[in-house]
């Protein structure tokens, strides 16, 4: 079986308003030269283009998917929320929630983005693909059931997981979020649920500013089924890999899921404008390799990655290519042109020791 790659040109056509990074223009905030949000189509399109140029595209099982249907959406989002979103979209677009502008057709594009994630998950659970990647856009991990947030218009992964659970295709699902921002939406949706483990590795106090603490472990039946791993700004390759391998993966192993879903953001890249981390393409390669190995060991290799953030148009394609090299076990390579630079810019031993100590403290608290 091959690696599935789910994408659709229409997802690149999602448009936002005129922002300067995450601040709406106006007053003393000058519009940026290119206009629009940093969540642009170019990082995603350039990843797809790089896959085509290197030939890795030919190794993948590439296809589109149907939009998420109303039944799937309603398992996560209230009818009133969806109706309001559709009405604003049909009227030419606007902004709902916080930092979530969209243009005409925004509703249809968002349901397609969720549909790509759903199709990727179902393809793996149905045995059509061993693993899969969904190039979803707009992203989804910040979206709450009734409130759009942080570029996220629908909760793509939550919609997919709920659909799989409802269809009886899985009983237990682990969601590992290594986007640099806290996966607060996915966390909130499953916070009191025992059948879904949510793990978020993120830069502490980046976005949102008031969520993502290590102490937030879930509630009610979901107590213990939520794990936040906040890392300090400046964390590099060693720190991110330690967080995955010493905290996230042991927690997932203990949970014994039927499938692992990764919220795959590339905004921990050292070149990302919306974070202050030092990850490289090799970081994403190793995190994928480690997670894939765990999936092969505990759940038949069932692993799905869903694209989230990542705003460096230059670096995201190489990070994403490294991930897909690992998923597909291809020998085709797209060498990271910044590899030597990032190796020399990695944090020094004292900072690495500090992060290692933080990871150790969290592991001890978790009994890992």
Q: pLDDT tens-digit profile of 189-228? A: 999 999 999 999 999 999 999 999 999 999 999 999 999 9
Is the pTM for the entire model greater than 0.85? yes
77 is catalytic: no
Instruction: Tell me the pLDDT band of 125, cut-offs 50, 70 and 90.
Output: very high
Q: Which 3 state secondary structure label does DSSP give 193?
A: coil
Range in 25-29, 40-44, 129-133, 353-357 with the lowest mean pLDDT: 25-29
Q: pLDDT tens-digit profile of 34-54? A: 666 889 999 999 999 999 999
Q: How many domains does the chain have?
A: 1
Q: For the purposes of burial, counting CB atoms within 10 Å of the CB of 348, is it exposed (0-12), middle (13-18) or buried (19 or more)?
A: exposed
Q: pLDDT tens-digit profile of 227-254? A: 999 999 999 999 999 999 999 999 999 9
Mean per-residue pLDDT of the chain: 96
Are the beta carbons of 330 and 289 closer than 8 angstroms?
no
Q: Which CATH number is 83's domain given? A: 3.40.800.20
Mean pLDDT to the nearest integer, 96-106: 94
| Per-residue model confidence (pLDDT) at position 35 | 61
| Per-residue model confidence (pLDDT) at position 20 | 80
What is the percentage of the chain residues whose pLDDT exceeds 90?
Answer: 93
Q: pLDDT tens-digit profile of 270-322? A: 999 999 999 999 999 999 999 999 999 999 999 999 999 999 999 999 999 99
Residue 158: give the domain boundaries: 3-366
| Per-residue model confidence (pLDDT) at position 31 | 76
Cα four-point dihedral sign 308, 313, 316, 321:
positive
The enclosing H or E element of 190 equals helix 184-190
Two tokens, residue 322: 């490294």
Instruction: Tell me the pLDDT band of 33, cut-offs 50, 70 and 90.
Output: low
Q: Which 3 state secondary structure label does DSSP give 264?
A: strand
Of residues 77, 141, 142, 181, which has the active-site annotation?
Answer: 142
| Per-residue model confidence (pLDDT) at position 136 | 98
């Amino acid at each position: 079986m091959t690696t599935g790659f789910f994408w659709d040109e229409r997802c690149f056509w999602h448009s936002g308003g005129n922002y300067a990074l995450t601040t709406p223009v106006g007053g003393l905030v000058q519009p940026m030269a290119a206009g629009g949000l940093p969540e642009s189509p170019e990082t995603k399109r350039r990843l797809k283009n790089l896959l085509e140029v290197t030939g890795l595209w030919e190794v993948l099982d590439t296809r589109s998917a149907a939009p998420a249907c109303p039944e799937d959406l309603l398992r996560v989002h209230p009818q009133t929320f969806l109706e309001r979103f559709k009405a604003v979209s049909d009227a030419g677009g606007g902004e709902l929630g916080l930092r979530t502008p969209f243009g005409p057709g925004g509703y249809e594009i968002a349901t397609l983005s969720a549909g790509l994630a759903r199709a990727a998950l179902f393809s793996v659970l149905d045995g059509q693909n061993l693993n899969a990647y969904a190039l979803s856009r707009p992203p989804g991990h910040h979206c709450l059931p009734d409130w759009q947030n942080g570029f996220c218009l629908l909760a793509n992964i939550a919609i997919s997981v709920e659909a799989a659970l409802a269809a009886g295709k899985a009983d237990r699902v682990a969601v590992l979020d290594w986007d640099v921002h806290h996966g607060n939406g996915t966390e909130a949706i499953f916070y009191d649920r025992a059948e879904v483990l949510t793990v978020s590795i993120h830069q502490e106090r980046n976005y949102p500013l008031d969520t993502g603490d290590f102490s937030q472990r879930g509630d009610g039946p979901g107590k213990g089924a939520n794990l936040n791993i906040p890392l300090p700004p400046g964390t590099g390759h060693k720190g991110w890999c330690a967080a995955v391998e010493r905290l996230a993966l042991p927690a997932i192993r203990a949970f014994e899921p039927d499938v692992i879903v990764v919220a795959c953001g590339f905004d921990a890249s050292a070149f990302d404008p919306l974070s202050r981390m030092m990850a490289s393409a090799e970081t994403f390669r190793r995190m994928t390799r480690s997670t894939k190995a765990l999936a092969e060991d505990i759940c038949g290799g069932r692993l799905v990655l869903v694209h989230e953030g990542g705003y460096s148009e230059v670096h995201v394609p190489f990070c994403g290519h490294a991930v897909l090299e690992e998923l597909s076990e291809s020998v085709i390579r797209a060498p990271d042109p910044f590899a030597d630079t990032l190796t020399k810019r990695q944090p020094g031993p004292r900072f690495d020791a500090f992060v290692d100590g933080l990871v150790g403290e969290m592991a001890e608290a978790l009994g890992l």
